[in-house]
Structures are given as C-alpha cells and as structure tokens.
Structure 1
Amino acid sequence: MTIRIVVVDDHPIVRDGIISMVSREGDIEVVGEAASGPEAVIVVTRELPDVVLMDLRMPGGDGVDAVRELTAAEVPTRILVLTTYDTDRDIRAALGAGAHGYLLKDTPRPVLLQAVRDIAAGRPVLAPQALDAMAGRRNDPELTARELEVLRVIANGGTNRGAAADLMVSEATVKTHLNHAYQKLGVSDRAAAVRVAFERGLL
C-alpha cells in the first residue's frame, strides 16, 4: 500500500529536502505541500493524505492551530509534527491539539521514514524529548525571584519604568529580567509571558 503524505514547512529548502528524501521510497508518495498552517489545512482537506508532516512555527500561520483545526474537522489524516522545537510547551501544545506523533528535524533518515510508516499504521511516534515531556520528567528552566517580581508588576499593568521604580533597579535591568523570562517561558512578548506564567501557576 502506498502512503500518501503532505509536507508542511515554511522553508522551501527544508520542504524540498524532505520531499526528495521520502519520494525515493517506493511505498511513500508526496501528494501535496504547504508553507503555512492555513495553507496546510486547505491542502490536507483537499488531498486527504494518510500522513501530514507538520512544522510548528511558521510566519504564515501556526502549525499547532492547523493541527487543532484538522482534528476538529475530523479529517482522517494522521499528523506527525516535524520541528526543531523541543520545549515541553511546544510538545504539549502539539500533542494536546491532536498530533499523533512528534519528531525533531535532526532525526536520522531511516528513523523518519519508519516513523511515517508507523504513523500511517496507527502507531504513535514520539521523540525521546516528547516522551519525557509527557511523562513530566523534564523541567523547564525556573524563573528567578527577580524575574517573577518583574512579571508580577507587569501583570498588574505596570510599565518597565514602574517596575524599575518599584524594585529600585534600572530600567535596563528590568528589560534584562524580562528577556530572560521570555526565553525561559518560550515567548516573545510581555502579554504572552504573563499568560504562560499564569497558566503554570507562577503568578
């Protein structure tokens, strides 16, 4: 039986490389490709492949949102996330949205090809990092007391200048604490940092 797949990645070179690699297999056929989450939903809904290889973070639209939308639509396609991101947050978000597997892009070629076959056959595929995340064995970097103090001020509507005054530090120091907090929480702005901190029970 031929396994029909769709490849989703916003980087053309990466997408072409994956397509070239899997197309050499006699039992795998690439029937579509997409460069964003919304485009992936359209292509997968149209082609109804057996498997979709889904990147996570794409400028044109998030992969997790696409996974969630395809799952909600009950599309009979199994979703294998293939990404560079291995944080607990990314892994849990993807699997929670309905992905059937999670692999990193540095996965060896034979392992990836077997993963496509396993996913198509209904067997879950998880990278070691994903197994650890789901088992709760991995710990994300903890925020320092100072970083939490800054986030609390921001969460209460304070500005960087206000946080600096409250904590009796420079505004540059506040920005440094915020940037460190962003990195540890896997976000890029203060609103997301506050939201994730609340979700994790840190505030």
Structure 2
Amino acid sequence: MIVDDHPVVHDGVAAQLQRYPDMHVVGHAGTGADAVTVCADEQPDVVLLDLRLPDCLAADVVPRVHRVSPDSRVLLFTAFPEHAAVAPTLAAGACGILVKHAGGTALHDAIRSVARTGSFHAGTPASSAAPVTAREYDVLRLVAAGHTNPEIGAELHLSINTVKTYLRSVMHKLAARNRAQLIANARGQGLL
C-alpha cells in the first residue's frame, strides 16, 4: 500500500512496482486517516508511508496502522531523510527508511526486505535537524494540541516531573523559552 498525498508519487511507485510479478499495490491513501481505513480493509504486507501528510506526520500513523493491521510492516518513504521527525517515526515502529529518489530496483529490494525480514537498513541517516527522542516528540505533540502538563502525564502515563523533564529537554533542543515559541520553532522545523 502507498500512503502519499502526491498523485505523481503514487502513480510513479505503482508503475515501478508493476514490473515485478511478486508485488501488487492493494491501495493508496493521501492522508493518515485514510491510510488507517485502507489498512484495516486491505491488511497490506507492506505500507510505504510518506513522512509528512496533510493531516499528520508518519509517527502518528504508524501505531494506528499497527492497531488495525498488526501484520503490516511500515517502510518510511521520504525525500527528507534528515528530517527531525524520522527518528520518532522509526521509534514508533517503522521498519526502515527509503529515500524517494531511489530507483525501481532499490524500491523493490527495500519492500521485499521489509516483507521478508521486517526491516530495511540502507545506511539510514540519523536525523540531525533537531534530535528529539520519540518520547520528547510525544510530549511536543501534546503541548501543541494545548494539553497541560498533568494532562500530558495522564495521556502518556508519566509523572508530572517526568513530563517537565521531557518538556525542558525538547525546549532546549528547539531553542525555545516558552510553549508558544516551542510550537512555533517545531513548526518551523517541520515537526508539527
């Protein structure tokens, strides 16, 4: 299954994969919400997932896909391998990352590797733009949604002091002095 909001990407990937009789595209989605619906219906072996979708980031989609289609393996597919949201997406359960400029053979090999072994490693670059951890990213998303520290703690099953520690850390990493600046800086770096 291909999850990307750009039709040209979907069409190009589908055309590349038509050359291989062992692969069949069972669905396409342009948003995270649609991806979850299609995965629930189709139960794909591999989900090729764009990092940034109109309604959310890939890190939000991966656990939702796994809930509705537990055997689906997610391969992150992005033009931005150094994006700060890559590490949280991998931490959320994606099996690897493939850069969009990869050719048809690399695409096929990556999908086959994920289907057979549950992982794909091609010198996956570490994100250097803003090295936030998966948990810091969770806290950041909830701050951006307007949650208070106690609400974040309840949602993530963390103590308030632990929430404060994560919040201080992510504020330091994103050079923010307060929540408003944190949200603005995170948006500026494409994290939200």
Q: What TM-score do the two structures reach when normalised by structure 1?
A: 0.63
Q: Identify which of structures 1 and 2 has the higher relative contact order when contacts are C-alpha pairs closer than 8 Å and 6+ apart.
A: 2
- Max radius of gyration: which structure? 1
Please point out which of 75, 84, 87 is paired with 1:89. Answer: 84
Q: Is 1:119 equivalent to 2:117 in the alignment?
A: no
The answer as to 2:183 corresponding to 1:188 is no
> Match of 2:66?
71
User: Residue 32 of structure 2 is aligned with which of 34, 37, 50?
Assistant: 37
1:164 alignment counterpart: none
Aligned-partner Cα distance in 2 for 1:42–1:8: 12
Give me the identity figure in percent: 32
Between the aligned partners of 1:42 and 1:24, the Cα distance in structure 2 is 27
Inter-partner Cα distance in structure 2 for 1:52 and 1:79: 5
Q: Aligned-pair distance for 1:140?
A: 4.0
- SS of the residue corresponding to residue 28 of structure 1 reads coil
Give how far 1:124 is off.
Answer: 1.3
Partner Cα distance (1:78, 1:42) in 2: 16
Q: Which residue of 2 aligns with 1:99?
A: 94
Of 54-63 and 26-35, more deviation after overlay is shown by 54-63
- Map 1:151-162; keep pairs closer than 5 Å: 151=175, 154-155=177-178
After superposition, the Cα gap between the structure-2 partners of 1:102 and 1:156, relative to the gap in structure 1 and judged at 3 Å, is closer
Residue 60 of structure 1, CA deviation: 3.1
* RMSD over aligned Cα atoms: 3.0
1:56 deviates by 1.3
Asked if residue 7 in structure 1 is aligned to residue 2 in structure 2, the reply is yes
Partners of 1:111 and 1:24 lie apart in 2 by 13
2-structure distance, mates of 1:77, 1:37: 15
SS of aligned partner of 1:79: strand
Counterparts of 1:156 and 1:16, CA distance in 2 = 40
Aligned residues: 149
| Alpha-carbon spacing, 1:78–1:156, altered in 2? closer, same or farther (3 Å) | closer
Partner of 2:47: 52
Structure number with the higher strand fraction is: 1
List gaps (5 residues or longer) in structure 2. Answer: 132-171
